[in-house]
Each structure stands twice: as structure tokens, then as C-alpha cells.
Amino acid sequence: MTRALPSAQMRDALALWLDGRRAMDAASDHTISAYAHDVGQFLGFLAGHLGGAAGLRQLAEVTQSDMRAWMAAERGNGLGSRSLARRLSAVKSFARWLAEREDLDISAILAARAPKFPRTLPRPLSEAAAREVIAVAPLQSRTDWTGARDAAVITLLYGCGLRISEALGLTGRDLPLGDVLRIAGKGGRERLVPLLPAARAAVAAYLRACPHPMTHDEALFRGTRGGPLSRRHIAKVMEQTRLQLGLPATATPHALRHSFATHLLAAGGDLRAIQELLGHASLQSTQVYTAVESGRLMEIYAQAHPRAGTSARTQGQ
């Protein structure tokens, strides 16, 4: 199938929709680029599939057969189930917006079903491993102040459940640190996160050692030359730390956020409260940690009672 360009009117509509997502959802540049690529791929296929530059009204003529042909073509191009589901979600969002503006019937697009794919569970660290990471991570740095900086970032990830982008997005305006942090998360959603004394102490130690002046508008965590610290640096620190400690490849910066949620749940934390602390828009995103905790309990039970595990397997034969 030859890829054709959608009509100029369709391209203008896509640009307008992207502007709206950027403004209303406070989406990142990376997210906007992904939306543009995903919807653009669909519109390009549609133009070629329909034999010409598809216009706005032609969306209403799309059939379920057309949608299946598009999904089959994407599969043929090597797109996996998870990526195809994400692409279909972006297409539906754009089509729904356009239908409301142009009074179109896009039922065939909305009826398309995303492929099923196995949901991967988060892989948290144990509490002991998380403490070891916080202790060993600063040793990867060549100077005391950068070691204190890395320890502060990692302590915020584990102690407050922050995303790496949220931790590195803190500025001098967030100082002095109090008992809570006001975090602007995904979609512009703000939340208040309690700041543990250990996290506050780690940040304070970094600030005392940091050689760069701290102003309201500059990043709280600075690179060696004074610019904003990159997320790639923290990923590298975690990589070096996990190799030193013999931890699996799943021990990433984001795994510390998973660990925060899992350990809080194990300690009796309320699922709704954990949802608020993580900044999840849906409780469904948080419920995955109940499966993680149940899995860990079953592992502990099997280790403590090996006969029970053997008996269960025997009965199943």
C-alpha cells in the first residue's frame, strides 16, 4: 500500500487538535510528537487506502473493514500489540474531537477494538534493596556534592514516589522545603506529597554542598556545569548501582516509584490514598500494585511452606 498524504484540510485539523492537547492537557513535547506520529500514520494509510487525499468528511465513510485493514498493515510493519493499542487510542481521540466539530458519524472508528496484550506488572525492589541503592548510589560520583545530589534525587523517587521528571522538575521556587511538596504531574494535575524527614535531610545536605547559586527559576538539581541535571545521568547512576549490588535490570529509577507504592500498600496504605500520592488519574492504574503485593505474598508463602507448593502441584497432575 502506497502511503499518500492526507488533505491540507485534514493536516490543519490535526495541527489544531495537537495545539489543543498541548494547551488543555499540558502534554509534554514528547507526548505531542507521539500523537502527531500515530495519527499521521493512520491518516497517511487512509489516504492511500481510499485512493486519494482523505478529507474531513471521508472519516465518516471509514468502515470496520478499513480499520481492520489499517491494523493489519501496522502489524505487517512490525508494530506490536501494545504500540498498536496506543496508536488506536490516539486515532480515536482525534476522530472523536473532529466528529464533534464537524458533526460526523465515526462509529466504525470508535468500534475498533485494540489488540489484547499481557499486562506487565511493576517490578519493585525489596525494602532492603531500596535502602542499599540509596546508600550506594552516591559512591558512583567523583565529588562529594554530586554524590549528595544523586542521593537526594533517588531518596525523593523512593521516599515520595515521584516520577524522575517530577523530581528533576523541581526548582529553587520550591525552597525552602516544608512537610509537603506541591507536584505538577502528568496532564497538569497537581498533588501534595508528604516529604519524609529523610528526604528533606537528603535535599538539605545537597544544598549545603552544591557549589552553584540557587535562584527561583533554575532547576533545583544541577549538573556539573550548573545546568539542569539530566534524567540520563540518574539512569546511569542506577545502572552502575544495580551492577554493584547485583540487582536485576528492572532496578531502574522508575522502579523506585513502584517500590514506594508497593511498600506503602504492604504497610496497610489505602489504595485511594496511594492513588493520590502517585498522581494517577484512574484508580485502575493504582490497582496493579495489589496484584504485585499478592504475588509477593504467594512467593513468601511458597518459600516458607514448600510442602504446600508441592502438594498443590501434585493435586493438579
User: Which residue of the set 96, 123, 186, 191 is catalytic?
Assistant: 186
212 assigned to active site: no
186 CB-near residues (< 8 Å, 6+ apart): 163, 279, 281
163 assigned to active site: yes
35 assigned to active site: no
User: Which residue of the set 21, 149, 222, 257 is catalytic?
Assistant: 257
280 assigned to active site: yes
Q: Supply 93's cell numbers.
A: 481521540
User: Which residue of the set 149, 163, 200, 242 is catalytic?
Assistant: 163
305 assigned to active site: no
β-pairing, 190-194 with 180-184? antiparallel
Q: Give how far the C-alpha of residue 70 lies from the chain's centroid of Cα atoms, to the nearest Å.
A: 27
User: Which residue of the set 82, 92, 191, 254 is catalytic?
Assistant: 254
Active site residues: 163, 186, 254, 257, 280, 289
